[in-house]
């Protein structure tokens, strides 16, 4: 279980304190997909950065199966993260070499991950691009490769920041199915930020609505639809934000 208790992040600037995230508490079970939702600058990426140890929380604690983020080395063995997809791959390497490289620098033995690499190449439809450099494949496939290079690490917690950004409907749908399969087969925890309402509607176990660093609510998708009496997820979200419903945890 990933446990987030009362985390806040306040940046001290020359113009005073800036609250990036205020008092988020969340317990996430294995096999859950948590989607972080909110306008630009709401604090979604800050949340990912806090869980991924890119940023130290000002207050609060984060732990995975009782391993605290302060035990960074142990904690990070369970975490993999991807920010803005295709930028996180190495352009001077071939498709399959990227997967090998990222496993290698996590200290994984190539013999142990060989099958996993083949599996993810197949799942993501990257087999036909074997032997090609990253700049020789399409943006969608680069994005798939970036996600594959994170999943191939086999960590139980995966953090994805805007994984569908710039993807066409078909690729976005494929990615969604892959994540669903990972959750069903391997009981992984996914924490995803996205502005893609359709993607969130189909994939999220729970959503966390954040605005201006404040947690406005944590719901199951159906719960939000029921509160707002909206069938469509996007409308439900917009209605919720507009009407400033009472915060519910």
**Which residues lie near other proteins (CB under 8 A)?**
9, 11, 20, 46, 49, 52-56, 72-74, 76-77, 79-84, 87-94, 97, 100-102, 104-109, 133, 149
Q: Are 169 and 124 in contact (CB under 8 A)?
A: no
Cβ nearer to other proteins, comparing 108 with 197: 108
**What string of H, E and C letters represents the secondary structure of 39-85?**
CCCCCHHHHHHHHCCCCCCCEEEEEECCEECCCHHHHHCCEEEEECH
The distance of closest approach from Cβ of residue 74 to other proteins in the complex, given in angstroms and rounded to an integer, is: 7
Cβ nearer to other proteins, comparing 89 with 183: 89
Half-sphere exposure of 226 (CA within 13 A, CB side): 5
The distance of closest approach from Cβ of residue 90 to other proteins in the complex, given in angstroms and rounded to an integer, is: 6
Beta strands of the chain (E only): which ranges?
A: 2-13, 16-28, 33-37, 59-64, 67-68, 79-83, 157-161, 189-193, 206-211, 214-219
Half-sphere exposure of 50 (CA within 13 A, CB side): 29
The distance of closest approach from Cβ of residue 151 to other proteins in the complex, given in angstroms and rounded to an integer, is: 13
Q: How far is CA 247 from the centre of its chain?
A: 23
The distance of closest approach from Cβ of residue 172 to other proteins in the complex, given in angstroms and rounded to an integer, is: 20
Cβ nearer to other proteins, comparing 1 with 110: 110
The distance of closest approach from Cβ of residue 68 to other proteins in the complex, given in angstroms and rounded to an integer, is: 14
Cβ nearer to other proteins, comparing 55 with 221: 55
Cβ nearer to other proteins, comparing 66 with 73: 73
């Amino acid at each position: 279980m990933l446990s987030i208790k009362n985390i806040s992040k306040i940046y001290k600037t020359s113009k005073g304190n800036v609250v990036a995230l205020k008092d988020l508490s969340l317990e996430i079970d294995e096999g859950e997909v948590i989607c972080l939702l909110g306008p630009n600058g709401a604090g979604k990426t800050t949340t990912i950065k806090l869980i991924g140890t890119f940023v130290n929380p000002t207050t609060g604690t984060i732990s995975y199966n009782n391993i605290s983020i302060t035990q960074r080395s142990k904690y990070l063995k369970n975490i993999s993260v991807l920010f803005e997809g295709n930028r996180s791959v190495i352009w001077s390497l071939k498709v399959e070499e990227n997967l090998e490289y990222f496993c290698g620098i996590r200290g994984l033995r190539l013999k142990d991950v060989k099958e996993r690499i083949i599996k993810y190449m197949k799942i993501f439809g990257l087999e036909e691009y074997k032997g090609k450099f990253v700049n020789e494949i399409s943006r969608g496939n680069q994005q798939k490769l970036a996600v594959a290079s994170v999943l191939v690490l086999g960590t139980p917690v995966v953090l994805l920041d805007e994984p569908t950004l710039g993807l066409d409907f078909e690729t976005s749908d494929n990615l969604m199915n892959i994540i669903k399969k990972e959750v069903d087969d391997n009981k992984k925890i996914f924490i995803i930020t996205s502005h893609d309402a359709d993607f969130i509607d189909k994939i999220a176990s729970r959503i966390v609505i954040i605005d201006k660093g404040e947690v406005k609510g944590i719901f199951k998708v159906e719960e939000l639809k029921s509160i707002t009496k909206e069938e469509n997820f996007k409308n439900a979200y917009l209605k919720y934000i507009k009407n400033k419903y009472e915060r519910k945890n």
